[in-house]
Amino acid sequence: DAMVIQNPRYQVTQFGKPVTLSCSQTLNHNVMYWYQQKSSQAPKLLFHYYDKDFNNEADTPDNFQSRRPNTSFCFLDIRSPGLGDAAMYLCATSQGTGGNEKLFFGSGTQLSVL
């Protein structure tokens, strides 16, 4: 009964080769988030969508883009992955962005860059 689904669980790409990570949800939530979690570090918000409105964090590199074609799906595109982009990428959803909103997380995609 997974509600936030990320595929694949593990993704390997080559240095400089574009890669797309996918996330889908069955909760019909308005908000979808992408977090980057490097080894032994805190998850860091890259951006989020409220419906179709894209909200980029100020320090998110231009190399990272996102698409949300419909309510259920959200994609993370890394245009030219570097070795420093190897990380766990977490997708999450919530109904709204209020401070008390509960976030629902997927299991994450572990990205390796060779």
Partner 1 sequence: GNSVTQMEGPVTLSEEAFLTINCTYTATGYPSLFWYVQYPGEGLQLLLKATKADDKGSNKGFEATYRKETTSFHLEKGSVQVSDSAVYFCALRFVYGGSQGNLIFGKGTKLSVKP
**Residue whose tokens read 């409220």:** 50
Q: How far is the CB of 18 from partner 1 (least distance, A)?
A: 25
Q: Using the minimum distance from each CB to partner 1, give the nearer residue, 69 or 99.
A: 99
Rounded distance, CA 89 to CA 79, Å?
15
Q: How far is the CB of 15 from partner 1 (least distance, A)?
A: 27
Q: Using the minimum distance from each CB to partner 1, give the nearer residue, 13 or 47.
A: 47
| Site for partner 1, rule CB under 8 A | 4, 6, 31, 33, 40-45, 48, 50, 55, 57, 90, 92, 97-108
* Residue count (the chain): 114
Q: How far is the CB of 97 from partner 1 (least distance, A)?
A: 3
Strands (E), 4-68: 4-7, 10-13, 19-25, 31-37, 44-50, 53-56, 64-67
